[in-house]
Every structure is written in structure tokens, then in C-alpha cells.
């Protein structure tokens, strides 16, 4: 790796730490505040609001990346996130309608936009040869930032209150904007591809790429399953810890455990991928998660629910995330940026809307106890889709290798 690429790699890794540190302060606070004001029964409604907002945000993001460099788009998204946070805090302070809900929506939408832009930079900085170990270290830096924030959020909430914690995010946003500017200079960016209607073109890109359609199916199944686990977890923790600040501290500790587990898995990502290969790694994740969910179904206690939550998120943030990103490597630049944004930004959050509709139906039928058995069924589908996606990845990688072989002799002639 060249010196310039090395500096870009250090910056993208440092940004992962800072962004996830800030998110670790925001997530327990906004979740605890929402449960305090609205309760866990309102979660399906706010998840639908998250899904709708994500569609709008994804459209704006896609249009921006088609006309502006990625660094400028990411800086603009960070500034917009800071301004939105300030506005929602004012809403909550003035007692305006649904300030807690607005904070919850902001928390979910802003992080997925920033992380998808950061991953797009990572895919420009790292190549296929370095991705196996570099993605693990990149994810590990994010986990260290998240773990640090999650361990601090409880003591901060005790001193300044849960809402006061969110004020610490504003200077962090300024730091992120400065670091993004440096990263953009070091990483380099292809010129954006101008197009008249970004969101419609993105949908056409998805239609032209069956590979991306299967990625939508894979990520959608994963996120619906994890969202259903989240609902059961939030119901359990709101009953076990009714006090706002105490619940914030417990949520922070659970997320710290998630980050610690993710960190161990991320540091071993390169070894796991080298030993098992991409396909076996992606198949092992749902198999192991299914075993953990089945254990909770047999012994439904809060401690086991916390373990289930930790396992679902830790796999999602570590092995699955790094392995999933490798699935994009053999694709074109348009598929890796615009297509990836459509797949990840929309699917990650819109899946919550789908999960919310499932939950609403289960609650209406009085069948909430069927939530986790449904998760087991979704995990079975997850395994099947993984087989299809990894086959397509192998074919795409072989196609890239063949094109390189044809180009190299021509260049030498």
C-alpha cells in the first residue's frame, strides 16, 4: 500500500472510531428516552417513520452523489445531521409533539447515511487483496469507538441527564467534517456521474443487476430478523428497568458488550475468512445466530434475551458486515456507490418498516409469542439466499479476473 493510501486508510479507520463513538452516546440515550415517553408498544410506529424517512434520505443521498464528490456529500450529510439534532433537541425541550420520536428517527437515519458513505470510501481505499484484514481492523476501530462511548454514556447520563448527553455530539460533528475533508484529499474520488433523476436511475441500476437484487433479499432478511429480536429485547428491558437514567446505563452496558464481542470477532475476521472462506463464513453466521435464538425460546429470561441481542448485533457489526462488503468488490463503480447506497441505506432501514408491519399483525392477532419462532424461519431463508449470493459473487470475481487477463497481454503488446 502506498503512503497516500496508508494515510487514507488511517483516516477512514479514525473516522470509524469517531462516528461510532458519537453513535454510542446517541443510541442508548434516544432509545431510553423513547421508551420513557412512548413505551415499547410504540416501536413499530417509529420504525415505520424511520423507513419512510430513510427512503427520502436515500433519494437525497443518491442525487447528491451523482452531482458532487463523495467527500463533499459526506460533509454535507454530517452538517445536516448536526442541524437536525439541534432542532429535535429544541422540540423536545419545548415539549412539542413527538420530540422523543423525532430523536429516535434521527438516530437511526443519520448513522446509516454516514456509515454507508464511509464504507464507500473504504471500498475506494482498500483493494481485494487487503480487504480481508483491513476491513476487520476498520470494523474494530468502530467497535472501539462504540465501546468507549457506551461505557461513558451511563456516567454522563447520571451527571447531566440523558438529554444532556446529546449535546456532546455537536463538537464531534465538527471534528468529523474536518477529518472527512482530509480523507477526501488523500483517497481521491472518481468524478460523479451526472444524471437527471437520481432515484429513478438508481432503481434502473438495481433492475439491471440481478446481483444487487439478491443483495437486497439477503440484507432485508437479516435486518428483519434482527429488528424482531430488538422488539423482544426492548419489551424485556423496559419492564426490567423502569427508571430512565438507569435504563440508559443498562442499555449502554449491553451495547458495550456488543462492541467488545464485535471487536474480538473483527480482529479475527481476516483469520476466519482465510480459514473458512467467504461462503462458509456467511453461512456460519445465521447458523450460530439461530442456535442462540433457539436457546432463548427454550429459556425466556432477560439475561438470555440480552445474550440474544448481543449475538445478533455482534455478528451484524463484525463478520457479516466485513464479509458482506467483500460481496461488492467485483462490481462496477456505479454498483459499488449508487447501487450499494440504494441496497444498504434503503434496505437496512426499510426492513424495519417491514418488521413493524409483521409485529403489528402479530400484536393484532395476540400472537406476540410467535415473534422468535418467526425469526427462526427467517434465518432459514437467510441461509438459502446466502447460497445464491455467494455463487453469484464467485462468478462475478471470475469474470473480473478474466477481463484483467485479456487486458494485460494487450497492454504489453
54 and 345 Cβ atoms separated by less than 8 Å? yes
Q: d(Cα 108, Cα 101) in Å, to the nearest integer? A: 11
- Nearest of 111, 267, 85, 78 to residue 184 by alpha carbon: 78
Least confident piece of the model among 13-17, 143-147, 374-378: 143-147
Query: CA 62, 64, 65: angle at the middle one, nearest 5?
Result: 65
Q: What is the CA radius of gyration of the chain?
A: 21
- The pTM of this model reads 0.68
Q: d(Cα 251, Cα 128) in Å, to the nearest integer? A: 36
Task: Name the band, by pLDDT with cuts 50, 70 and 90, for residue 198.
Answer: very low
Burial class (CB in 10 A: 0-12, 13-18, 19+), 374: middle
- Higher local confidence (pLDDT), 412 or 79: 79
Burial class (CB in 10 A: 0-12, 13-18, 19+), 202: buried
- Nearest of 13, 19, 24, 74 to residue 266 by alpha carbon: 13
Residue with cell 424511520: 50
Write down the H helix ranges in 166-268.
Answer: 169-187, 198-208, 210-240, 244-267
- The predicted pLDDT at position 386 comes to 95
13 and 125 Cβ atoms separated by less than 8 Å? no
Cell (9 digits) for 246: 438507569
Q: d(Cα 302, Cα 307) in Å, to the nearest integer? A: 9
- Higher local confidence (pLDDT), 76 or 128: 76
Q: d(Cα 244, Cα 259) in Å, to the nearest integer? A: 22
Cell (9 digits) for 235: 419489551
Distant-in-sequence, close-in-space partners of 264: CB < 8 Å, separation ≥ 6:
none
Does pLDDT of 342 surpass 80?
Answer: no
In the 8-state DSSP scheme, what is residue 192? P
In the 8-state DSSP scheme, what is residue 68? S
Other beta carbons within 10 angstroms of residue 36's beta carbon come to: 17
Least confident piece of the model among 6-10, 263-267, 280-284, 342-346: 342-346
Does pLDDT of 29 surpass 60?
Answer: yes
- The predicted pLDDT at position 197 comes to 46
CATH number, domain with residue 287: 1.20.1250.20
pLDDT tens per residue, range 107-130:
988 888 888 888 877 777 766 666
157 and 245 Cβ atoms separated by less than 8 Å? yes
If one counts the domains in the chain, the total is 1
In the 8-state DSSP scheme, what is residue 345? I
- Nearest of 385, 211, 137 to residue 282 by alpha carbon: 385
Helix 128-165 crosses helix 319-326 at what angle (to 10 degrees)? 130
Q: Which domain holds residue 52?
A: 3-188+197-412
Q: d(Cα 275, Cα 271) in Å, to the nearest integer? A: 6
pLDDT tens per residue, range 202-241:
556 666 778 888 888 998 899 899 888 888 888 888 888 8
186 and 4 Cβ atoms separated by less than 8 Å? yes
93 and 84 Cβ atoms separated by less than 8 Å? no
Does pLDDT of 292 surpass 70?
Answer: yes
Cell (9 digits) for 61: 443521498
- The predicted pLDDT at position 195 comes to 47
Cell (9 digits) for 264: 474480538
331 and 339 Cβ atoms separated by less than 8 Å? yes
Q: What is the mean pLDDT of the chain?
A: 81
Amino acid at each position: 500500500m502506498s503512503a497516500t493510501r496508508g494515510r487514507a486508510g488511517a483516516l477512514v479507520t479514525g473516522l470509524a472510531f469517531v462516528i461510532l463513538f458519537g453513535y454510542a452516546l446517541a443510541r442508548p440515550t434516544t432509545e431510553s428516552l423513547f421508551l420513557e415517553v412512548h413505551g415499547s408498544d410504540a416501536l413499530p410506529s417509529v420504525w415505520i417513520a424511520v423507513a419512510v424517512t430513510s427512503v427520502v434520505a436515500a433519494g437525497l443521498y443518491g442525487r447528491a452523489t451523482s452531482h458532487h464528490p463523495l467527500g463533499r456529500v459526506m460533509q454535507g450529510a454530517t452538517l445536516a445531521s448536526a442541524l437536525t439534532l439541534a432542532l429535535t433537541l429544541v422540540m423536545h425541550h419545548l415539549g412539542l409533539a413527538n420530540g422523543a420520536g423525532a430523536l429516535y428517527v434521527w438516530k437511526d437515519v443519520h448513522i446509516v447515511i454516514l456509515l454507508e458513505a464511509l464504507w464507500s470510501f473504504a471500498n475506494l481505499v482498500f483493494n481485494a487483496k487487503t480487504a480481508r484484514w483491513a476491513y476487520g481492523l476498520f470494523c474494530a476501530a468502530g467497535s472501539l469507538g462504540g465501546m468507549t462511548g457506551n461505557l461513558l454514556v451511563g456516567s454522563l447520563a447520571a451527571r447531566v441527564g440523558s438529554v444532556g448527553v446529546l449535546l456532546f455530539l455537536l463538537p464531534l460533528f465538527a471534528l468529523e467534517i474536518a477529518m472527512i475533508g482530509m480523507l477526501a484529499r488523500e483517497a481521491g474520488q472518481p468524478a460523479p456521474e451526472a444524471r437527471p433523476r437520481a432515484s429513478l436511475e438508481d432503481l434502473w441500476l438495481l433492475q439491471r443487476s440481478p446481483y444487487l437484487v439478491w443483495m437486497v433479499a439477503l440484507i432485508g432478511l437479516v435486518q428483519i430478523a434482527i429488528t424482531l429480536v430488538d422488539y423482544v429485547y426492548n419489551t424485556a428491558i423496559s419492564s426490567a428497568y423502569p427508571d430512565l437514567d438507569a435504563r440508559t446505563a443498562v442499555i449502554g452496558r449491553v451495547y458495550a458488550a456488543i462492541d467488545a464481542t464485535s471487536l474480538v470477532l473483527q480482529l479475527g475476521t481476516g483469520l476466519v475468512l482465510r480459514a473458512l472462506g467467504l461462503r462458509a463464513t456467511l453461512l456460519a453466521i445465521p447458523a450460530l445466530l439461530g442456535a442462540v435464538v433457539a436457546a432463548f425460546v427454550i429459556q425466556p429470561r432477560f439475561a438470555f434475551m440480552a445474550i440474544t441481542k448481543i449475538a445478533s448485533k455482534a455478528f451484524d457489526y463484525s463478520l457479516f458486515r466485513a464479509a458482506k462488503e467483500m460481496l461488492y468488490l467485483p462490481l462496477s463503480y456505479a454498483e459499488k456507490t449508487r447501487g450499494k447506497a440504494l441496497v444498504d441505506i434503503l434496505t437496512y432501514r426499510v426492513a424495519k418498516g417491514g418488521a413493524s408491519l409483521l409485529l403489528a399483525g402479530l400484536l393484532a392477532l395476540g400472537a406476540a409469542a410467535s415473534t422468535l419462532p418467526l425469526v427462526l424461519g427467517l434465518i432459514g431463508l437467510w441461509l438459502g439466499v446466502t447460497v445464491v449470493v455467494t455463487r453469484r459473487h464467485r462468478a462475478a470475481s471470475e469474470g473480473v479476473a478474466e477481463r484483467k487477463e485479456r487486458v494485460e497481454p494487450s497492454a504489453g503488446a
